Amino acid sequence: MEDFTVCACDDTMTPFTIHPYGPHAVLLEWNDAGASIGDAPLCFTEWARSNATLSDLAEEIVPGARTVLVVHRPGAGDDVRRAAQAFDPTAPTPRNGRRHEIAVDYDGEDLAAVAAMVGCSIDDVVEMHSSATYRVAFCGFAPGFGYLTGLDARLHVPRRATPRTKVPAGSVAVASEYTAVYPHSSPGGWHLLGTTVTTMWDVDRTPPSLLQPGDTVRFIVTGIRRNTTATREIR
């Protein structure tokens, strides 16, 4: 049976503005930049891919945090704009993504610090993080880096004041309303809760990225390191 979802978007106003984006694309930008729009861009993307008109006109549909890029066939810009305006943010949209379970050893350098920030124990942080079912809202920052929504609000912590120059591949982290897995060793400013050996990006895989927008993710606890000391960042 196909799953459906209703996106979190204010139906009392036009949910997005449509901008031209070169000769063969349009950019949908959600209004109210200061407000949370939930999974609205992802909901539009899933709706568009199931809409006969848009799926025929579009060559690629790419969701972002507050935007959706629709790359369309030459000369189809006006038709895409008209079709997009039919989107009803309150109507159920199909969920066609894959389901993933990612094993995590909760041994991150910031695990104790996050527990101290939110005023709970390390075990509480692990329980909050691992008990949720997440959705891949969009991908960005680096190949294979999926921004996952559904994080417990108690774990919505700001980015680190001082980013690390190197975060190991496989690091499981949180920042703001998102959680993610770093697919490669790279700089990063998120708080590290744990690590996974799951390969997030593999050029020999089709597609190379394990996570795609619309997929769901559960984190499975394989271990917890409790002998860590919370440290205060120097600002």
| pLDDT tens digits for range 139-197 | 999 999 999 999 999 999 999 999 999 999 999 999 999 999 999 999 999 999 999 99
- 72 by Cβ neighbours in 10 Å (0-12 / 13-18 / 19+) ranks as buried
Tokens at residue 18, please? 């449509």
Angstrom distances, CA of residue 25 to CA of 47, 138, 172: 18, 18, 34
DSSP 28: E
The domain boundary, picked from 95, 110, 129, lies at: 95
Specify the CATH number for the domain of residue 107.
2.40.100.10
| pLDDT tens digits for range 108-133 | 999 999 999 999 999 999 999 999 99
Residue 230 domain flag: no
Q: Which of 152, 153, 146 is nearest to 214 (CA)?
A: 146
Strands annotated E in 31-98? 58-63, 67-72, 93-95
Same domain, 138 and 206: yes
Residue 121: other Cβ atoms inside 10 A: 13
Same domain, 141 and 103: yes
Assess whether the previous peptide bond of 207 is cis (omega < 30° from 0): yes
The domain boundary, picked from 95, 129, 146, lies at: 95
Give the contacts of 190 (CB within 8 A, at least 6 positions apart).
159, 160, 167, 173, 174, 175, 180
Same domain, 215 and 113: yes
Same domain, 194 and 161: yes
Band (8; pLDDT cuts 50, 70, 90): very low
